[in-house]
């Protein structure tokens, strides 16, 4: 005990207890025998108000200070603990007089408010993530199902960069002989972009329902009018490609609204793939479109069209080189299998996809009538 007394006296002679007593945090000093040699005024007041607090504090002594615990003698340790209904951050630091370890100083800081805030933030984030996942399920459900629609056979792959996406493709039956197909890419991704895809889905269907004889260019002009009426942020915009298939003469008429990912068509008779190019400005409330150029072509049995968004061509390898339009054309020319194309893009990409990746494939089949 004489040795412990000498060390306690050394501690009292070498530490400015006035500073420790002025602190709002609880402070106590424990010698290397596990004896409490000092507690500051804040901790004394707390012990008077809650006698059972001593039990909580005593439980911490054996865990932090022991003759065999070399870690506690060489490093500061920080932990968080629930004590008497409140959260505390406990910082334990070794005390040395010269080269001699003489004890440990503990500082208990009340972090109840911060901890409650963390818990509230966690619960809020969890609720938000649950909402986002719900939106994703809804968004996935509005995409047309893989299958046969008249003379068109559809298959698609939808991989959002986040839980939700700004990509959308849809197939609309205009009448018994015509089907419209479009693909769109809303600026950005996330919840804001996903909500815009809902607007696109509803609005495009409403336009064709009210104006079944509209050409692709007329549809885009009408779509822009409805978009500007939303009066949303001027930086918001989207691109789209729209084609109308007419099974009576096996024709396709299409227009492009600033979609920098023109579909690739594989002509079975020519055994080659080429892009379906047409000029037209994006749908925006600050860019006035002059017109949307319309182009047409005839389709044959076995022709295939690959639709995609910029997540496909902007995938980057380890050197930072993008997959690009030409590499995509070569891949599609090699195989018209959608899974093959997706695998090539995914394996080329070196890191997590920076943008939504959506692929859709239409095969034209003249053998079947609606």
Indicate the pLDDT class of residue 369, thresholds 50, 70 and 90.
Answer: very low
pLDDT of residue 73: 72
Q: Is the pLDDT of residue 112 over 50?
A: yes
Q: Are 110 and 50 in contact (CB under 8 A)?
A: no
Pairwise CA distance, residues 89 & 74, whole Å: 20
- For residue 216, what pLDDT is reported? 97
pLDDT band at 127 (very low <50, low <70, confident <90, very high): low
> Where is average pLDDT lowest: 113-122, 252-261, 313-322?
113-122
Question: What digits encode the pLDDT tens for the residues 54-83?
Answer: 877 877 666 655 544 555 677 788 888 888
Instruction: Identify the pLDDT of residue 353.
Output: 62
Q: Where does the pLDDT of residue 107 fall: very low under 50, low under 70, confident under 90, or very high at 90 and above?
A: very high
Cβ-based neighbours of 72, under 8 Å, separated by 6 or more = 64, 65, 66, 92, 94, 104
Mean pLDDT confidence for 34-57: 86
Mean pLDDT to the nearest integer, 237-253:
96
Q: Which residue has the higher pLDDT, 329 or 187?
A: 329
- Residue 368: φ, ψ to 5°: -120, 140
**Given this model, what pLDDT does residue 92 score?**
87
- Model confidence at 160, in pLDDT bands (50, 70, 90)? confident
pLDDT at 319 over 50: yes
341 pLDDT exceeds 50? yes
Residues near 68 by Cβ (< 8 Å), separated by ≥ 6?
A: none
Decide if pLDDT at 11 tops 90.
no
Closest CA to 312 of 283, 348, 281: 348
Edge-to-edge strand ranges of the sheet holding 26-31: 36-39, 26-31, 100-110, 86-97, 77-83
Q: Looking at mean pLDDT, say which of 22-26, 35-39, 258-262 comes out highest.
A: 258-262
Highest mean pLDDT among 58-72, 153-167, 187-201, 259-273 belongs to 259-273
> CA-to-CA distance for 80 and 110, rounded, in angstroms?
10
**pLDDT score recorded for residue 132:** 65
Q: Is the confidence at residue 131, as pLDDT, over 70? A: no
The average confidence (pLDDT) of the chain is: 85
Q: Is the overall model pTM greater than 0.75, yes or no?
A: no
pLDDT of res. 368: 47
CB 314 within 8 A of CB 323: yes
Q: Give how far Cα 245 sits from Cα of 12, 46, 240, 263, 349, Å.
A: 91, 80, 16, 14, 34
User: CA torsion, points 68, 71, 76, 77, in degrees to nearest 10?
Assistant: -90
The answer to which of 92-106, 155-169, 332-346 has the lowest mean pLDDT is 155-169
């Amino acid at each position: 005990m004489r040795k412990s007394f000498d060390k306690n006296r050394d501690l009292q002679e070498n530490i400015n207890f006035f500073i420790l007593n002025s602190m709002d945090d609880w402070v106590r000093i424990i010698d290397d025998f596990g004896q409490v040699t000092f507690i500051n005024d804040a901790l004394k007041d707390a012990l008077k108000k809650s006698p059972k607090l001593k039990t909580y504090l005593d439980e911490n002594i054996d865990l932090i200070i022991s003759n065999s615990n070399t870690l506690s003698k060489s490093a500061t340790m920080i932990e968080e603990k629930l004590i008497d209904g409140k959260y505390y951050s406990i910082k334990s630091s070794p005390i040395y007089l010269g080269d001699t370890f003489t004890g440990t100083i503990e500082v208990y800081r009340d972090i109840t408010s911060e901890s409650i805030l963390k818990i509230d933030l966690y619960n809020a984030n969890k609720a938000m993530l649950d909402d986002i996942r719900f939106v994703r399920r809804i968004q996935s459900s509005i995409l047309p199902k893989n299958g046969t629609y008249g003379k068109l056979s559809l298959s698609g792959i939808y991989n959002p960069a986040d839980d939700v996406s700004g990509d959308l493709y849809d197939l609309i039956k205009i009448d018994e002989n015509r089907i419209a197909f479009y693909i769109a890419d809303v600026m950005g991704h996330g919840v804001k972009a996903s909500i815009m895809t809902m607007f696109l889905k509803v609005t495009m269907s409403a336009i064709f329902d009210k104006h079944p004889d509209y050409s692709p260019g007329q549809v885009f002009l009408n779509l822009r009018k409805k978009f500007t009426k939303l009066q949303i942020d001027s930086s918001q915009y989207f691109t789209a490609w729209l084609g109308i298939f007419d099974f009576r003469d096996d024709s396709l008429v299409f227009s492009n609204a600033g979609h920098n990912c023109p579909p690739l068509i594989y002509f079975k008779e020519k055994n080659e793939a080429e892009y379906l190019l047409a000029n037209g400005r994006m749908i925006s409330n600050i860019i006035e479109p002059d017109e949307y150029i319309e182009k047409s072509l005839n389709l044959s049995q076995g022709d295939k069209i690959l639709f995609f968004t910029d997540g496909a061509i902007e995938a980057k390898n380890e050197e930072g080189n993008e997959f690009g339009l030409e590499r995509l054309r070569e891949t599609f020319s090699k195989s018209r299998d959608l899974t093959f194309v997706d695998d090539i893009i995914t394996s080329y990409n070196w890191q997590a996809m920076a943008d939504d990746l959506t692929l859709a494939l239409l095969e034209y089949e003249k053998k079947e009538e609606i």
